[in-house]
Amino acid sequence: MFNWLLKPAIFLCCLIPLAWLVNDTLTEQLSANPIEDITHRTGDWALRFLLITLAVTPIRRLSHWAGILRLRRIFGLFAFFYAVLHFTTYLWLDQQFLFSEIWIDIAKRPYITVGFTAFILLIPLAATSNRYAIRRLGKRWKSLHKLVYPIAGFGVLHYLWLVKADVREPALYALILLLLLGIRAYWDRQVKRQLANA
């Protein structure tokens, strides 16, 4: 019963940031620059869900709770969902679909360049987050989905370069990412040692 309820409950929880943003927009509780607020909040949640997705495997190994692996796809797809909202806000509300200006912006501003790169790399991961793609791609699926690590790195870099004064929040995300990458590297090294000694 618990497992049957878990996925829908997590799905609804992942929609809370969007519901909160919609409520603040409709009730005029955003700042004097609402477009900036929407852009930042959707971007923040895209990055948070990316880090949550990366944290699934360490949590599973440390807690021995295999069921959490069933939630990884939900977290990954919500990372993409909020990234789409983030990018759409930039295209539509900020740049008003003036693509000539958008391409100049992407080329001239490093933080936009890395953010755009992260978004483009997320697309094939979202497109192949289904059982058919896993079967079709076989071993290549795992190799493709390792792109989540550089994508998260680009996301953190995008945030760090965007912020001009208070870097505490992007720095926290950078530390979390480094910790997750460090854990992964340590476990990979252990596996290689075991194989070498076998």
pLDDT tens per residue, range 30-79: 998 999 999 999 999 999 999 999 999 999 988 888 888 889 999 999 99
Q: Per the structure block, which two tokens stand in for 9?
A: 């409950």
Choose the weakest-confidence range: 13-22, 30-39, 180-189. 180-189
Residue 170's pLDDT is 93
pLDDT in tens, 107-134: 889 999 999 999 999 999 999 998 888 8
Mean pLDDT of the chain: 91
Provide CB contacts within 8 A for 145, sequence distance 6+: 125, 128
